[in-house]
């Protein structure tokens, strides 16, 4: 199949114009790339209903869970250096996570049901099979997370160590929105003896040429972060986010491994291009081909994750022929505020969709589904 760029332009332009007209978005940025060039890039709409400034190359978006693939790449940097193994026990790096227990609700009370039989591993964290802050385990924290602990990655991870697991590791899959990837980010800090934000900058974003991707935006970058869109009574409006927080109410000083970055279309397209090019970009080897292969291969058995996609390392991987618009082997992820991307090795393209909205986000966002559909319908067969 060959991508018809003229048809692609028509499909995406028509969709974006309709979404802005219906106030489903204030605006969006999209890109489709091949291993060697940008096939299509466009910006639609304005920063908000209040601010009519057009979205452009300088607009920054809150990535939310599209931070997770970058954290996975950071872990794979250490993997390539021989400093971490995917099957390593978490307690090897974070001793406070030794001797985990399974927690259950009984008669409305939280109890320690039993000691976990399976040792928690790095792979479990990367594949949402750890049971940390999932499966109802959040009910078993001894005390609420303090504001002081919430300010730092270390403080939050130490707090998570007080919790039980929601289920036996690798016995089921349930999404861990932030906790599992916070543990991964903290493991990177411990191994490298480097601040996590600095590690990501040095080993992932800078080699990719991602100059506008950050956990703590500068004052100038904050001014370019798109306001959060919301739709009420059929009209677009602005949802006010907590000050100096990239994700929900988490301070930027807490480097959220699963949700804490801001980035631009250009930057994230560069990250996607690196994965499409099997770990290389601009002559820089960011991670090895082996690392990309592991990251983009299903790592969860079908027995605990039936369906047409399964988790790789920090990304979903399409595994079923019946997935409508992406081929088997395509991989990527989304964010709670509507960002979406995938890498398609079969057709040698990658695609990135950027928006920020409280109205329609996450992996099930209609805009994400339609973006996949519009690109699929732009191939000439």
Cα–Cα distance, 23 to 232 (Å, whole number): 9
Residue 273: its pLDDT value, please? 98
Contact (Cβ atoms closer than 8 angstroms) between residue 101 and residue 164:
yes
Q: What angle do CA 342, 84, 279 make, to 5 degrees?
A: 35
Between helices 179-192 and 68-80, what is the axis angle to 10°? 30
Cα–Cα distance, 17 to 276 (Å, whole number): 29
Contact (Cβ atoms closer than 8 angstroms) between residue 158 and residue 185:
no
Helix (H, G, I), strand (E, B) or coil at 118: coil
| pLDDT 10s digits, 265-283 | 999 999 999 999 999 999 9
Question: What percent of the chain lies above the pLDDT cut of 90?
Answer: 90
CATH class of 2-67+196-380: alpha beta
Between helices 68-80 and 265-276, what is the axis angle to 10°? 40
| pLDDT 10s digits, 106-117 | 887 778 889 999
| pLDDT 10s digits, 232-268 | 999 999 999 999 999 999 999 999 999 999 999 999 9
Residue 139: its pLDDT value, please? 62
Compute the average pLDDT of residues 328-344: 98
| pLDDT 10s digits, 35-71 | 999 999 999 999 998 999 999 999 999 999 999 999 9
Higher pLDDT, residue 350 or 136: 350
* pLDDT tier, 291 (very low <50, low <70, confident <90, very high otherwise): very high
* pLDDT tier, 144 (very low <50, low <70, confident <90, very high otherwise): confident
* pLDDT tier, 140 (very low <50, low <70, confident <90, very high otherwise): low
Compute the average pLDDT of residues 329-352: 98
The DSSP code sequence of 231-257 is EETTEEEEEPPPTTEEETTEETTS--T
Domain range list for the chain: 2-67+196-380, 77-192
Side-chain half-sphere exposure of 69, counting CA atoms within 13 A: 27
Residue 96: its pLDDT value, please? 97
Residue 25: its pLDDT value, please? 97
Residue 141: its pLDDT value, please? 62
pLDDT above 90 (res 381): no
* pLDDT tier, 1 (very low <50, low <70, confident <90, very high otherwise): confident
Cα–Cα distance, 332 to 317 (Å, whole number): 7
Number of Cβ atoms within 10 Å of the Cβ of 233: 6
pTM here is 0.97
Helix (H, G, I), strand (E, B) or coil at 40: strand
Compute the average pLDDT of residues 172-177: 94
Residue 32: its pLDDT value, please? 98
């Amino acid at each position: 199949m060959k991508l018809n760029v003229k048809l692609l332009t028509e499909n995406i332009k028509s969709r974006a114009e309709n979404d802005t007209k219906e106030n489903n978005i204030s605006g969006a940025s999209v890109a489709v790339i091949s291993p060697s060039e940008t096939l299509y890039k466009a910006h639609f709409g304005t920063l908000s209903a209040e601010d009519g400034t057009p979205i452009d190359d300088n607009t920054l978006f809150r990535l939310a869970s599209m931070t997770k693939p970058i954290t996975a790449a950071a872990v794979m940097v250490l993997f390539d250096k021989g400093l971490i193994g995917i099957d390593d026990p978490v307690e090897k790096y974070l001793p406070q996570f030794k001797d985990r227990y399974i927690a259950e609700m009984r008669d409305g009370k939280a109890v320690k049901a039993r000691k976990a039989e399976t040792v928690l591993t790095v792979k479990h964290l990367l594949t949402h099979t750890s049971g940390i802050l999932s499966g109802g385990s959040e009910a078993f924290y001894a005390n609420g997370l303090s504001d002081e602990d919430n300010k730092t990655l270390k403080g939050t991870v130490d707090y998570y160590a007080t919790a039980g697991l929601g289920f036996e590791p690798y016995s089921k899959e349930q999404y861990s929105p932030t906790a599992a990837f916070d543990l991964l980010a903290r493991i990177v800090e411990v191994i490298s003896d480097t601040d996590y934000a600095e590690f990501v900058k040095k080993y992932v974003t800078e080699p990719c040429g991602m100059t506008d991707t950050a956990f703590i935006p500068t004052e100038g970058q904050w001014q370019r972060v798109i306001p959060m869109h919301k739709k009420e009574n059929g009209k677009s409006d602005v949802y006010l986010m907590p000050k100096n927080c990239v994700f929900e109410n988490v301070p930027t000083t807490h480097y959220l491994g699963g949700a804490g970055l801001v980035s631009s279309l250009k930057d994230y397209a560069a990250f996607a291009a690196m994965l499409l090019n099997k770990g290389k970009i601009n002559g820089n080897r960011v991670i090895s081909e082996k690392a990309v292969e592991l990251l983009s291969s299903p790592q969860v058995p079908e027995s605990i994750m039936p369906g047409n996609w399964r988790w790789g390392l920090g990304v979903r991987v399409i595994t079923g022929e019946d997935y409508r618009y992406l081929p088997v082997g395509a991989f990527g992820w989304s964010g709670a505020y509507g960002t979406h991307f995938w890498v398609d090795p079969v057709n040698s393209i990658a695609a990135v969709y950027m928006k920020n909205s409280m109205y329609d986000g996450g992996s099930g966002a209609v805009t994400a589904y339609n973006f996949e559909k519009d690109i699929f319908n732009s191939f000439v067969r």
